[in-house]
Amino acid sequence: MAEFKGRVINPGYYKGEAVVSHQGVNTLATFQKSALSNAKNVIVADQNNPDIYGKNITKKALCLPKTIGSTTGGMVLQVICSMGINPSCLLFSEKIDSLAAAGVILSVVWEGSDIIAIDDLGEEFLNTVKTGDTIEVKEDGSVVVM
């Protein structure tokens, strides 16, 4: 068991499965197909991200360094939150990027989403957590990898 402490962007409690990307997550490529098809779950469609491609990330903890790609990233995150098919948590090893921060804020304020966002968990966090691990996220920004 390992514990990490990050900065809280949007607090909440979560205990469940982690899905890990060791590279930046392209929000448009990851979420767009599921959003446009009115899917019940997000199945990652970004073929350029072998860590998460084809995985269901709905209601899971998405562990990532940062988001990358198009400036539509924040809007795409807001859309999947409005559909209720978003990951439960976005757990960033780096500081949250402006596009992901905008998406989280819009999702919380406009959509009433309870998406949890914690950043600055550190590189060791991504080196420790593995896809399929159970993690516990606490309101104070602590993340326990079990």
**What's the confidence (pLDDT) of residue 132?**
98
Sequence letter at residue 80: I
According to CATH, the superfamily of the domain at 2-145 is Phosphohistidine domain (3.50.30.10)
Nearest in space to 91 (alpha carbons), one of 119, 125, 58:
119
Phi, psi (5° rounding) for residue 90? Answer: -115, 115
pTM above 0.95, yes or no: yes
Give the per-residue pLDDT at 70: 85
First to last CA, the chain: 5
DSSP string, 35-51: HHTT-SS-B---TT-TT
User: Would you give the DSSP letter of residue 56?
Assistant: B
Per-residue pLDDT reduced to its tens digit, 91-129: 999 999 999 999 999 999 999 999 999 999 999 999 999
Confidence at residue 98, expressed as pLDDT on a 0 to 100 scale: 95
Q: 51-90, pLDDT tens digit by residue?
A: 999 999 999 999 999 999 888 999 999 999 999 999 999 9
| b/e 118-129 (16+ beta carbons within 10 angstroms → b) | bbbbeeebbebb
**Residues 13, 115 contacting (CB under 8 angstroms):** no
Residue spans of the domains in the chain: they are 2-145
